C-alpha cells in the first residue's frame, strides 16, 4: 500500500514531494490516449486522480491488480484539511478502496437505450448498505432469484455497482452531487437492508 495513505499520521512523508497550494480537487476528465478519472474512498481518505488504464472502471477494479495512477490529490474524510497534490503516489491497490464514485467522465458512453438493455434481465432494488465507515443508499440491479442480501456472499467480482445513490459518512454526504454509479467493495460490506420506495437525493426515503 503506497505511503500508507489509510492513516493520517503517514501523510506527512507522502506530501513532502507535493507542489502547489492545496485546494479543492474535482475529479479530472478522462484523458485522450488512455486514462480513467476516479474518486476513491478509503478508511480515512478521499483520493481523486487518473488511473492509467482504459476500459470500464468496474472491470479495471475487479482485476484486483495494482493500478498505475497520476495527478492524484487527497484529503482526510473528516474535512480537517483541504485537498493537496501527491505526485509521489503512483499506484493504488483496489483492495484498499472501499468505494469509488463514478461520474459521467468515468463511465462508457452508453446511450439511454444501451443502458436499459444492459439491465433488461435484472431486477432493481432500493437498498441501504453498511460499508464502514460509510452508508450507501441507492439501487442495485440483480438477476432474478438473487436477493439483495446475497451481495454479502463471496463473488468473483470484488466491486458491484449501485445507481442513483449517495454515500454518507455520519450525517455528511460525500461528494457535491449524486453520483451516476457508486462502486462498492463487497469485502467491506457488512449489512444490506432492502427498503421500499425511491430514495431522495440525500438518501432518505421518499
Q: Which three cell numbers stand for residue 27?
A: 475529479
Q: Say whether pLDDT at 7 is over 90.
A: no
What are the distances in angstroms from CA 45 to CA 108, 118, 191?
A: 26, 32, 22
Q: Quote the CA–CA distance of 206 and 197 in Å, as a whole number.
A: 6
pLDDT digits (tens, 9 = 90+) for 141-181: 998 888 999 999 989 999 999 998 999 999 888 875 556 78
Domain spans of the chain, in order of start: 2-106, 112-195
pLDDT digits (tens, 9 = 90+) for 93-141: 999 999 998 765 555 455 565 556 555 678 999 999 999 999 999 999 9
Residue 7, number of CB atoms within 10 A of its CB: 13
Please give the model's pTM, rounded to 2 decimal places. 0.78
Task: Answer yes or no: are the C-beta atoms of 149 and 190 closer than 8 Å.
Answer: no
Q: Say whether pLDDT at 8 is over 80.
A: no
pLDDT of residue 80: 86
CATH class given for the domain over 112-195? mainly beta
Among 202, 100, 91, which residue's Cα sits nearest to residue 160? Answer: 100
β-partners of residue 179 are 165
β-partners of residue 49 are 38
**More confident of the two residues 120 and 27:** 120
Task: Answer yes or no: are the C-beta atoms of 137 and 127 closer than 8 Å.
Answer: yes
The per-residue pLDDT of the chain, averaged, comes to: 78
> In 138-204, where does DSSP find H-type helix?
none
**More confident of the two residues 14 and 5:** 5
β-partners of residue 38 are 49
Task: Answer yes or no: are the C-beta atoms of 74 and 42 closer than 8 Å.
Answer: no
pLDDT digits (tens, 9 = 90+) for 41-94: 999 999 999 898 887 888 899 999 999 999 999 999 888 899 999 988 999 999
SS3 100: strand
Q: Say whether pLDDT at 3 is over 50.
A: no
Q: Quote the CA–CA distance of 150 and 128 in Å, as a whole number.
A: 14
Q: Quote the CA–CA distance of 161 and 141 in Å, as a whole number.
A: 8
Amino acid at each position: 500500500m503506497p505511503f500508507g495513505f489509510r492513516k493520517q499520521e503517514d501523510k506527512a512523508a507522502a506530501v513532502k514531494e507535493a507542489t502547489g497550494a492545496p485546494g479543492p480537487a474535482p475529479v479530472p476528465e478522462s484523458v485522450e490516449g488512455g486514462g480513467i478519472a476516479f474518486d476513491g474512498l478509503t478508511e480515512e481518505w478521499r483520493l481523486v486522480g487518473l488511473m492509467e488504464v482504459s476500459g470500464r472502471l468496474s472491470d479495471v477494479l475487479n482485476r484486483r491488480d495494482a493500478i498505475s495512477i497520476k495527478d492524484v490529490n487527497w484529503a482526510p474524510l473528516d474535512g480537517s484539511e483541504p485537498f493537496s497534490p501527491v505526485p509521489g503516489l503512483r499506484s493504488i491497490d483496489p483492495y484498499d478502496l472501499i468505494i469509488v464514485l463514478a461520474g459521467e467522465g468515468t463511465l462508457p458512453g452508453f446511450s439511454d437505450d444501451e443502458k436499459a438493455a444492459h439491465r433488461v434481465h435484472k431486477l432493481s432494488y432500493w437498498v441501504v448498505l453498511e460499508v464502514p465507515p460509510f452508508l450507501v443508499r441507492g439501487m442495485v440491479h440483480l438477476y432474478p432469484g438473487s436477493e439483495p442480501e446475497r451481495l454479502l456472499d463471496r463473488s468473483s467480482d470484488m466491486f458491484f455497482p449501485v445507481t442513483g445513490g449517495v454515500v454518507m459518512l455520519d450525517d455528511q454526504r460525500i461528494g457535491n452531487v449524486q453520483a451516476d454509479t457508486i462502486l462498492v467493495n463487497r469485502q467491506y460490506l457488512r449489512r444490506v437492508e432492502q427498503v421500499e420506495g425511491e430514495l431522495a437525493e440525500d438518501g432518505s426515503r421518499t
